[in-house]
Homo-oligomer: A and B are copies of this chain.
Amino acid sequence: MTLSLDQARTLIAATRNKGREMGLKPLSVVVLDAGGHVLAFEREDGAAPGRFAIAQGKAYGAVMLGMAGRAQMARAEAQAYFMAAVNGVYGGQVVPVPGGVLLRQDGAVIGAIGVTGDSSDNDADAALAGAQAAGLDAEA
């Protein structure tokens, strides 16, 4: 299964709605496909200009490693030099904290959401809620 643009837009809308409902700061939300390539992105008014790269970095690491943000953070806490090295081989594009959420269908990764703007944990919770609203299995 391939994520469609309509699904990506639905994921972004649902994640943003959840952010508003939780009273979060302005969010930036990216959806990547199963190859780690950008399908859709939105940056809410008031967010800092550099948010695209952070959102992408959270989602990119999730897809490329097959490991969601919380697992990446646990590994970085346990073995910082490993995640630094992994980031090196991926061209410095990995941001290993919560907010990178894997999307799965029948167990296979079909893409990821990357969210940034509030605390990493809140970012992840908004993405999770977004995925659930869109009817997709997700892992934060």
Contacts and interface: CB of A to CB of B under 8 A. Distances in A.
B90 A87 contact: no
Contacts of A8: 42
Contacts of A40: 40-43
Interface centre among A4, A40, A50 (most CB of B within 10 A): A50
B84 A48 contact: no
A4 B90 CA distance: 23
A22 interface: no
A54 B89 contact: yes
Given A33-B35, A37-B52, A81 B89 contact: no
Chain A interface bracket (under 10, 10 to 19, 20 to 34, 35 or more): 35 or more
A109 B50 CA distance: 12
B86 A95 contact: yes
B37 A35 contact: yes
A65 B89 CA distance: 17
Interface in A45-82: 45-50, 52-54, 56-57, 63-67, 76, 79-82
6 contacts: A5-B44, A35-B35, A48-B63, A48-B67, A57-B88, A88-B94
